[in-house]
C-alpha cells in the first residue's frame, strides 16, 4: 500500500546506481601470502541450508525445473503505472523474457475493482469479484485492463511455468454507499450491498465498530475497517468455495498471495487463509524489528518481507558501514520465510542498488526484483547475471568471512553437490584484495560476474586471494 509521506526520488538518480566494474589489474602471487592476512569466520547461520522450493531455473527445453538456489520474484508494477487499461498486456509481453532470465514468479497489483475505478492502483477495494468485467465505479476495465487480459497474463505465466501472486487487500474497503450505522449513531460509508458482482455484500455489521468490538489491530487511512472476527466475513474471504480466496486460486488461477498492511489485523487471519486455501504467501509487515517479523511469520504460517534486511542494507551501502550486515535479519532467522527486496512500490530509499541486489541475490531468502529497477533504472545485463548466479550457485547456509566499513565477504557453503559461492562487496573507491578461506582445496575458481579477470587456484588449506572492483562486487565459485 502507498504510505503517507512517501519519499519520491528523481528518475535522474538512476545514474547513481550504475558503476564501472572493469579491471585492468593482474593477479598477484598467491604463494606469498602472510599468515597475518588470514581471518576467521565471524558469523554462521544456524540452519541446514537446504534449497528453497519457491522458484525454478531454466532448463535446456525452455521450461522451468527445480533449481539449486531457489526462486526469484518480480514485482511486476510500481506506483502509478500508466492508466488506460493496458498494464496486464504490458506485463504479458515481458513474461517470456523474464522467464528466460530465470525469474520464477510475478507479483501483480490488486486486480479487482476499487473506488477510483480506472485510476486506482487497487488498494481501495470495492468489489473483490470485479476484475474489469462490470461497469462499476465509473469504468468497466480496471486501471490495468480487462478480466480477459488478466486471465491471458496468468495463462501465459503458467505456460512459462512461472507462478503468479495476487496482492490481497483485506484490512479495509472503499467505495461503499452511505448508510445509517447503528453502532456509531451516524452515517458511514459501509453499504456495499450494491456491488456489481453480487458477491460478498457488506454492511455496517461487517466493519468496526460493530457488535464484535470497537476495533482490531489497526485501521488505515480512514477507510472502513473490515471485521475479520465476523464469521460472515471469514466465510466470504477464505471459507466458502466461491469466496474470495478460493475464487482467486481455483477460478482465476493465482498461485499465492501478497497480503497488504498485515499490521491492521491479527496474524491468525493469514494463518486461516493459508490453512483453508494454500498457496505461497508473504505479508507486508512494515517493521524493522526482526523479533516482530519472526513472530508474525510463525503465527501467520507465512513468509514476510524482510524489512530488517532492507534497512540494514540502506545503512550499509548508503551509510558506508558494511559492518551492520553482521546484525540480525529475518533471512538469518528463517530463510524459508524471508522475502528480501531492494525497493518496492512504497519505499525506495537505497541508492547503491546494485550492491544491494548483489547482496540479496547471493544470500538466503526469496529475493524480489523491482520492475523499474529491472526495466528502466539499472543495468539489466548485470541483474540477469546476478539472477543466474542466484539460481545456479547460491546454495547452502551462509558464513560471513569478513566485514569492515567498506568491505563485506560471505560464503555460501553449498548443498547436495552444488559448490556454493563466495561474494565480495566493496563500497570503497578503489580495488580491494583479500585472502579468504573457501570450501575448495587445490581448485581453480573464477568471478562469475566477469568483474575480475583472475582465475586463482585455491591452496591445499583452501585459502585463496580474491579481488573486488570499486563500488562493486565479485562472486567466486569453482570454474566449471
Catalytic residue among 167, 255, 260, 406: 260
Specify which residues 438 forms β-bridges with: none
Grid look-up 453499504 returns 191
Q: Quote the CA–CA distance of 385 and 345 in Å, as a whole number.
A: 24
**31 in active site:** no
**284 in active site:** yes
Q: Quote the CA–CA distance of 195 and 175 in Å, as a whole number.
A: 9
Phi, psi of 331 (to 5 degrees): -65, -25
Q: Residue 148: in which H helix or E strand, if any?
A: helix 147-159
Q: Which burial class, exposed, middle or buried, applies to 229 when counting CB atoms under 10 A from its CB (0-12, 13-18, 19+)? A: middle
Q: Quote the CA–CA distance of 91 and 86 in Å, as a whole number.
A: 9
Can you say whether the dihedral through the CA atoms of 171, 174, 177, 179 is positive or negative?
positive
107 to 256, 257, 334, 361: CA distances (angstroms): 9, 8, 22, 18
Catalytic residue among 284, 306, 348, 406: 284
**112 φ/ψ sector (left φ>0, alpha ψ -120 to 50, else beta):** beta
Torsion of CA 440, 443, 446, 447, to 10 degrees: 10
Write the DSSP string, 253-264: ---EEEES-GGG
Q: Quote the CA–CA distance of 193 and 40 in Å, as a whole number.
A: 65
CB 67 within 8 A of CB 394: no
Q: Quote the CA–CA distance of 199 and 201 in Å, as a whole number.
A: 6
- Residue 200 CA to its chain's centroid (Å): 30
Phi, psi of 224 (to 5 degrees): -55, 130
Find, among 374, 341, 396, 445, the residue nearest to 69 by Cα.
Answer: 396
401 contact partners, CB below 8 Å, separation of at least 6: 39, 41, 42, 409, 410, 411, 422, 436, 437
CB 55 within 8 A of CB 361: no
> In the numeric block, which cell numbers belong to residue 111?
486486480
CB 209 within 8 A of CB 200: no
Residues of the binding site for Ca(2+):
171
Residues of the binding site:
171
Instruction: Write out the catalytic residue numbers.
Output: 260, 284
Amino acid at each position: 500500500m502507498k504510505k503517507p509521506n512517501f519519499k519520491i526520488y528523481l528518475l535522474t538518480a538512476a545514474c547513481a546506481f550504475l558503476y564501472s566494474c572493469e579491471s585492468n589489474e593482474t593477479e598477484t602471487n598467491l604463494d606469498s601470502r602472510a599468515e597475518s592476512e588470514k581471518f576467521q569466520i565471524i558469523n554462521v547461520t544456524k540452519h541446514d541450508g537446504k534449497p528453497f522450493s519457491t522458484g525454478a531455473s531454466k532448463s535446456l527445453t525452455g521450461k522451468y525445473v527445480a533449481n539449486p538456489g531457489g526462486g526469484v520474484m518480480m514485482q511486476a508494477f510500481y506506483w502509478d503505472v500508466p492508466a488506460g487499461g493496458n498494464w496486464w498486456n504490458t506485463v504479458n509481453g515481458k513474461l517470456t523474457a523474464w522467464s528466460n532470465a530465470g525469474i520464477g514468479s510475478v507479483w501483480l497489483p490488486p486486480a479487482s475493482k476499487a473506488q477510483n475505478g480506472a485510476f486506482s492502483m487497487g488498494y481501495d477495494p470495492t468489489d473483490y469479484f470485479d476484475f474489469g468485467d462490470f461497469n462499476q465505479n465509473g469504468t468497466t476495465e480496471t486501471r490495468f485492463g480487462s478480466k480477459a487480459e488478466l486471465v491471458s497474463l496468468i495463462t501465459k505465466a503458467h505456460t512459462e511455468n512461472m507462478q503468479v501472486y495476487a496482492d490481497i487487500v483485506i484490512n479495509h474497503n472503499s467505495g461503499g454507499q452511505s448508510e445509517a450505522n447503528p453502532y456509531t449513531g451516524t452515517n458511514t460509508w459501509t453499504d456495499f450491498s450494491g456491488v456489481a458482482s453480487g458477491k460478498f455484500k457488506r454492511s455496517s455489521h461487517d466493519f468496526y465498530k460493530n457488535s464484535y468490538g470497537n476495533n482490531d489491530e489497526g485501521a488505515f487511512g480512514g477507510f472502513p475497517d473490515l471485521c475479520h472476527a465476523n464469521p460472515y466475513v471469514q466465510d466470504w474471504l477464505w471459507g466458502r468455495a466461491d469466496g474470495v480466496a478460493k475464487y482467486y486460486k481455483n477460478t482465476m488461477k493465482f498461485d499465492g498471495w501478497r497480503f497488504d498492511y498485515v499490521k491492521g489485523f491479527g496474524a491468525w487471519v493469514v494463518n486461516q487463509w493459508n490453512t483453508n486455501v494454500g498457496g505461497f504467501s508473504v505479508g507486508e509487515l512494515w517493521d524493522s524489528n526482526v523479533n516482530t517479523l519472526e513472530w508474525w511469520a510463525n503465527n501467520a504460517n507465512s513468509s514476510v518481507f524482510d524489512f530488517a534486511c532492507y534497512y540494514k542494507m540502506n545503512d550499509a551501502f548508503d551509510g558506508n558501514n558494511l559492518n551492520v550486515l553482521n546484525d540480525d535479519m529475518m533471512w538469518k532467522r528463517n530463510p524459508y520465510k524471508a522475502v528480501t527486496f531492494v525497493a518496492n512500490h512504497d519505499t525506495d530509499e537505497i541508492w547503491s542498488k546494485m550492491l544491494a541486489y548483489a547482496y540479496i541475490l547471493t544470500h538466503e531468502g526469496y529475493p524480489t526484483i523491482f520492475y523499474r529497477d529491472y526495466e528502466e533504472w539499472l543495468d539489466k545485463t548485470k541483474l540477469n547475471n546476478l539472477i543466474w548466479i542466484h539460481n545456479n550457485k547460491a546454495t547452502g547456509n551462509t558464513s560471513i568471512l569478513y566485514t569492515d566499513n567498506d568491505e563485506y565477504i560471505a560464503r555460501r557453503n553449498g548443498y547436495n553437490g552444488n559448490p556454493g559461492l563466495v561474494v565480495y562487496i566493496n563500497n570503497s573507491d578503489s580495488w580491494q584484495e583479500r585472502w579468504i578461506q573457501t570450501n575448495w582445496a587445490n581448485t581453480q575458481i573464477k568471478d562469475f560476474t566477469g568483474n575480475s579477470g583472475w582465475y586463482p587456484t585455491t591452496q591445499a588449506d583452501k585459502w585463496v586471494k580474491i579481488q573486488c572492483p570499486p563500488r562493486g562486487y565479485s562472486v567466486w565459485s569453482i570454474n566449471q
